[in-house]
Structure 1
Amino acid sequence: MNGQIVSLIIIFILLVVVFSSFVTVKQGTIVVITVFGKYRRILTPGLNFKLPLIEAVYSKISIQNRSVELEFQAVTFDQANVYFKAMLLFSVLDQQEETIKNVAFKFVDERNLMQALIRTVEGSIRAFVATKRQSEVLILRRDIVEHVKEQLDHTLESWGYHLQDLQLNDITFDEVIMKSMSQVVASNNLKAAAENEGQALLITKTKAAEAEGNAIKISAEAERQASQLRGQGVALFREEVAKGMTAAAKEMDAAHMDTSVILFTMWTESIKHFAENSKGNVIFLDGSTDAMQKTMKEVMAINTLQAAEKGKK
């Protein structure tokens, strides 16, 4: 009976030893093995063998990306409080043995690592913001991220980590500063709107003046052409009248009649035209014989002058 108990105990111990000799490592995880507290080797994902009772699993290190949210305060060069909300994305630098050793043994535990990482990031951002004015901070998101990466890359590599990304999700100031910044933005918008309105009004007035100038030019050109046409019409009328009078004079001369009868006829026709087309009721006209003779002489002188000019041509 005692022999059976001893056999069962030995079998149980053997089973424990056998099962403890195999270690299953999950994907995205590296296992660090030590021997009596001293680093020995690393185990990669999959089924691995280790020496029972000698080799021990010291830690399991995730090589996947990890994120942490940050909320902290900084002070600008002009003593304005700036409040940041950020998201930090980091991971193990690589799967090299030396890198894994740094990750496993640099810090006592995960809590101390996160504390050091967060404080380092916050300190880097605070140092950068302390050299800038509050009006510059909002437009320097990218510069802040690049500064943090430049400052932390060497330090994090010595820990076995790499900063993948730093996102500054929210940057705010004290309420008084936020109100003043809103007022500045509003006044700038009003100024821009006034300038745009002034430019639009200037353009409108300029276009209206150009249109008015063009209309005046067109009207003047039309009047000039109309005057030219009227002058041409009067000249043609006079030419035709002169031709008619010349023909009538030749016929009267051939009939041995006095040509002054033509001028008398024109005189009477003019008086008739005044009477028919005048809007008034009274026509003031010197109808004396002397006045008629004077007018006749002027008309004859004009005809003689026109005949002389045509003879020169």
Structure 2
Amino acid sequence: MTILVIAEHIQATLKVATLNAVSAAREIGGEIHVLVAGLDVQGVADAAARAAGVSKVLLADAPHLDAGLAENVEAVVLSIAKNYSHILAPATAYGKNIAPRIAAKLDVAQISDIIAIEDQDTFARPIYAGNAIATVQSADPIKVITVRTSSFDPVDAVGGNAVVERIDVTPGAGLSQLVGREVMKLERPELASASIVVSGGRGLGSGENYARILEPLADKLGAALGASRAAVDAGFVPNDYQIGQTGKIVAPELYIAVGISGAIQHLAGMKDSKVIVAINKDEEAPIFSIADYGIVGDLFSVAPELVEELQS
């Protein structure tokens, strides 16, 4: 049994989500190959080769793969798919863009967002915003799977010594082209991989309050900033701050929820955090049902007091 993991990378850097997917592949068992598709991505392939548990890296290097367009990457995967029993991708925007096309072309059912592995055919995945867990067993000859990265610890980024093999690349599909890309440079850790997250909700009242209250706390903790859907919809912060069922799924060591009531949609995206701290003036707020530590009080007083304590 051989498993293929589709690597996610950006700006010539292998993303941690790939290491989470490799971790899931190790639990399934068998030989693990990693596909790196892009342009001038030898460095990414070398990084994937150093990941623990990887036995081979397949390097597909071509100009039409530079943008990571789904139809072009899908064609590369389909050209080698018959060699694999499982094809895994992280359940990120990148993986969710590619995996369904592969499953459709192979005429198999995709198994989405797995959080646990029972055996090589049986997987667990959340449904109903995480309020229930479905156990899915597949008899498909090739299983196409997306992996919830927060449910699998990443493998070590060093220690492996896999061989890197260049493969033939199919021509570009020519169905779409990348017109432009805006990359936001963050001074703080990336939200999906941060060990500490400070998140704000509608209770903050405005974008100005969000910045004034949360940024000093995040700066003191070296934390990433996140938000509930309500805060995003209200225009406090951009969409890429959103945590929840329709946003990012996070599981940091510490999650601080400030002014977040705890709607099911939001809880689905952060309830696997190791330690959850909630600050809310409503003692009946649902967030307290999953919080390890709760502070019932005015966030405009409590959050600055926390910053002062961290300074002392």
If the TM-score is normalised by the length of the shorter chain, which range does it land in? under 0.3
Question: Per chain length, whose mean CA-contact separation is higher, i.e. which structure has more relative contact order (CA < 8 Å, sep 6+)?
Answer: 2
User: TM (normalized to structure 2)?
Assistant: 0.17
- Whichever structure has more strand as a proportion of its residues is 2
Greater Rg over alpha carbons, structure:
1
- Whichever structure has more helix as a proportion of its residues is 1
